[in-house]
Structure 1
Amino acid sequence: MSFNISLSGLNAASSDLDVTSDNISNSATVGFKGSRAEFADVFASSQLGVASNAIGQGVRLQNVAQQFTQGQFDFTGNSLDLGVNGEGFFRMSDEEGAVSYTRNGAFQLDNEGQIVNADGLQLTGYPADDDGNIGGETGPLQVNTGNVPPRATDEIDVNANLQSSAEPPEADFDVDDPESYNFSTATTVYDTQGGSHTANFFFSKMDPDDDAIDGIDGGENTWAVNLEVGGVVDGPRYLNFGTDGSFDSVTDGDGDAADGPYQFAADDIDALAGADDLDIDVDYSSMTQFGTPSAVSELRQNGFEAGEFSSLEVEEDGTIFGRYTNGESRALGQVALARFPSEQNLTEIGDNLWVESAESGEPIIGEPGTSSLGGIQGGALEQSNVDITEQLVNMITAQRNFQANAQMISTQDQVTQEILNIR
């Protein structure tokens, strides 16, 4: 009987060495999670139960448990090298739709622009439409590396202060005469073909006695604004401010107040060269009239020229942005992560992949940073969580256990030999 007990000890020590060897051999494997051997003692029992003076029957390997602790990050600078900082797995899919999960975030683009790993499995997430709107259904993520088309400017927001103590200019407004206005600023706008045009704003403090503002509330708190693009001048419009310097209203030359942003429409700009006419809503509602010098805080328009694909960037929430040479960025999709009620009961299938099992429970899929899921670390890979020093100590311990059980067998053999030599 003691031979069998010691033999179980040899098998257990050998299994412990096998697990340690596997950990050490994968110490440089990206996203690898080390395992530990868990053992249980063995007792013989009968229908009458275990006797109070029963001797154990050895040991057995009870479980090989993976340890899903966080690994260190190795920063690579490759935008499609992704690491999970916290709980969660990347969700992968093959061409037949079979789903697996991994912590290895070494991804690349295939010839169709799909984000895949070294084995060609597709990274899944929430794809975005052509306007950068991210949907709620999961699917393979694909990156469009083509050019981004131009967008015509149709909105301008002006956020500026006009100095309340400014004196009305004496000369009538003239684009070419700086003495005919108090303050000017400019921005670039774009037509439907991506052509750029300079939009110049000219602000003139109004004389309260000027007949032009008869019937316009504001009086000495009124400014005229003229907008010029490509030689076409729109204006004047009249900006009216309250006594506290806050914006009140914008009116046209007849004293009619605009219900919303004022529209600038120009159809005589020669530089449009076949593009559609400019049709821009200009919003002055963020402007103020304070005693500080006239200055622009923000002058924002929503158009841009055509741009070529430049690079990718992945944010902490998993959103994948395409960067373009025109300075624009567009959301191309969002990485999805999955977690399980019992991740240690996932079934390992090799190649750093796990699949769902009955014991692991069904996956909870969501956006990184939500539902207890970790965030995404772009440009970095999660290294193996194996501690080499710890594994070497485990190796020595398992070796000693193996030697001790082998010595026990040798001792039992000597005892048996002594018995056989009795005459």
Structure 2
Amino acid sequence: MSFYTSLNGLKNAQTDLGVISNNIANAETNGFKKSTVAFSDIVAGSAFTNPKLLIGIGATVEAINQNFKQGPVEQTGNALDLVVNGDGFFTTKSAISGDTLYTRNGSFEIDQNGYLVRGNGNQLQAFATDAAGNVTGTTPQSVQIPATNATGAQFAGVAVGKNGVITASYADGTNVAVGQIALATFLSPGGLRQEGSSNWTSTGLSGTATYGGPDSGFYGGILSGALERSNVDLSEEMVGLITAQRNFQANAKAIDTASQISQTIINMHT
């Protein structure tokens, strides 16, 4: 039995090493959220087993939990680099599948059609507003900036306020609001499914998204000209890496010891 107990220990240590390695690999990924492995012990026995004589049979991976603590903020000076300063996820529409994706990576740009997109082409979702910035709709939709305003003046620039209102400026000096960023929150963000590129999708474990405007209620305000970096602490991960390595070595040594004991017993019989 000791062989299988230690083998489970080796597998668990390998899982821990894999999660830590992924954290370290994404230490420079904007909007990335680190994960940690939670283990639980395994005990097997029947109703007739003396509880004082129960022996555990190892451990198993109970969960790989995501940590959504906010990462450090880096100033960039780009008006379309955005940070949610508090709770909430940016909502985007996948350019490939049309699926709704959620992200903390606020690196946006304007594409050739005037849509606000991330580098992968996913379109930022916002609430409709009038020209003054008053919200007129509650259904998130893609944000598109007109190349010219009503008088034919050319687009000159864009700004995003703390309340998430996106304002386009034109060559004739006029400013027109084109939408308010729609932030999403979840009852259990730990249940979100990782999709890569700092994107998540909702699941039955996370619950459905609840949308709201930035800087209102429990939704964080928008900080323009900055990006949220990964929340991975390299010092903490290095300590965890050493611990996982020692755990792996200890389980390997336990297997070696059990093998030696078995060989000794076999030699006694021969």
TM-score (norm 1): 0.60
Matches within 5 A, 1:254-265: none
Whole-Å separation in 2 of the counterparts to 1:133 and 1:370:
14
- The answer on whether the counterparts of 2:188 and 2:206 sit within 8 Å (CA) in structure 1 is yes
Distance 1:418 1:411 in 2: 11
* Residue 23 of structure 2 is aligned to residue 23 of structure 1: yes
State the Cα distance separating 1:77 from its structure 2 match: 1.2
Alignment-mate amino acid for residue 183 of structure 2: L
Name the structure with the higher helix share: 2
Query: What residue is the counterpart of 2:115 in the other structure?
Result: 114
SS at match of 1:31: coil
Match of 2:46 in 1: 46
Deviation at 1:98, TM superposition (A): 2.0
Q: Any conservation in 1 of the 2:133–2:180 contact (CA below 8 Å)?
A: no
- Aligned partner of 2:143 among 123, 132, 141: 141
Distance in structure 2 (CA, Å) of the matches to 1:18 and 1:410: 23
In structure 2, the partner of 1:318 is: 164
Mapped pair 1:11 → 2:11: yes
Consecutive unaligned residues of structure 1, counting only runs of 5 or more, are: 150-305
State the AA in 2 paired with 1:67. Answer: N
- Paired position in structure 2 for 1:405: 251
State the match for 2:84 in structure 1.
84
Equivalent-residue separation in structure 2 for 1:20 and 1:372 (angstroms): 31
Q: Deviations over 1:310-358 (max 9, x none)?
A: 2111111101111234443221211110000000011112221111111
The one of 192, 196, 202 equivalent to 1:356 is: 202
Q: 1:337 aligns to what?
A: 183
The 8 Å contact of residues 113 and 144 in structure 1, kept in 2 or not, is answered as yes
CA contact (8 A) 1:148 1:308 kept: no
Distance 1:395 1:408 in 2: 20
Q: 1:55 and 2:51 equivalent?
A: no
Moved more, 346-355 or 26-35: 346-355
User: Partners in 1 of 2:85 and 2:168 — Cα distance?
Assistant: 22
Q: Is the 8 A contact 2:186 2:208 kept in 1?
A: yes
Structure with the greater alpha carbon radius of gyration: 1
2:266 aligned with 1:420: yes
- Unpaired runs of 5+ residues, structure 2, are none
1:367 aligns with 2:245: no
Task: Verify the 8 A CA contact 2:167 2:177 in the aligned structure 1.
Answer: yes
Are the aligned partners of 1:337 and 1:367 in contact in 2 as well (CA < 8 Å)?
A: yes
Structure 2: distance between partners of 1:145 and 1:50: 78
Distance in 2 (CA, whole Å) between partners of 1:131 and 1:50 is: 75
1:49 is displaced (CA, Å) by: 6.6
Q: Distance in 1 between matches of 2:127 and 2:58?
A: 53
CA contact (8 A) 2:133 2:165 kept: no
**One-letter amino acid of the counterpart of residue 165, structure 2:** T
Separation of aligned partners in 2, 1:131 and 1:421: 89
TM-score relative to the length of structure 2: 0.93
Confirm or deny that 1:389 pairs with 2:235. yes
| Kept after mapping to 2: 8 A contact 1:127/1:142 | no
Contact 2:148/2:170 (8 A) holds in 1: no
Q: Secondary structure at the match of 1:46?
A: coil
Cα offset for 1:108? 1.1
Corresponding residue of 1:379? 225
1:63/1:132 CA distance change after superposition, 3 Å: closer
Q: CA deviation at 1:131?
A: 6.5
Map 1:58-73 to 2 at 5 A.
Answer: 58-73=58-73
Pair 1:364–1:49, CA change in 2 (3 A): farther
Q: How big is the shift at 1:398?
A: 0.4
SS at match of 1:107: strand
- 2: CA distance, partners of 1:143 / 1:45: 66
Instruction: Name the % identity.
Output: 42
* Contact 2:85/2:221 (<8 A) preserved: yes
Q: Which one-letter code corresponds to 1:395 in the other structure? A: L
Q: Note the C-alpha offset of 1:5.
A: 0.8
| Structure-2 separation of matches of 1:322 and 1:69 | 32
